[in-house]
């Protein structure tokens, strides 16, 4: 376990790993097929894409979160007389 102050960093690492794994797999497969050296090509694509994705998630997640908060309808709170 780790301190809550590292939560944004952990989120960026996990989200970028998750997205880059899936995206590079599909794009490598579509562009070059599942031939014998597929895993090598996929690994190279992953190594190029992951640092970029990590930095984009790290920098962009707080802004995207604020954007989503502005787009979501906030539920009205019922004021019940006491």
- Band of the pLDDT at 79, cuts 50, 70, 90? low
In a domain, 76, yes or no: no
The model's pLDDT over 17-69, given as tens digits with 9 standing for 90+, comes to 999 999 999 999 999 999 999 999 999 999 999 999 999 999 999 999 999 99
Structural domain boundaries, residue 55: 4-71
pLDDT of residue 75: 84
**pLDDT score of 82:** 62
Residue 47 pLDDT: 98
In a domain, 55, yes or no: yes
> What's the pTM value of the predicted model, to 2 decimals?
0.77
Instruction: Please count the structural domains in the chain.
Output: 1
- Is residue 18 one of the residues assigned to a domain? yes
66 lies in some domain: yes
Would residue 49 count as lying in a domain?
yes
Residue (of 22, 14, 27) closest to 54 by Cα position:
14
């Amino acid at each position: 376990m780790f301190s809550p102050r590292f939560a944004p960093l952990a989120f960026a690492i996990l989200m970028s790993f998750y997205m880059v794994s899936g995206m590079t797999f599909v794009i490598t497969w579509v562009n070059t097929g599942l031939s014998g050296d597929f895993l090598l090509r996929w690994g190279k694509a992953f190594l190029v894409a992951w640092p970029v994705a990590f930095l984009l998630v790290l920098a962009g997640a707080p802004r995207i979160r604020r954007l989503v908060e502005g787009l979501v309808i906030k539920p009205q709170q019922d004021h019940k007389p006491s």
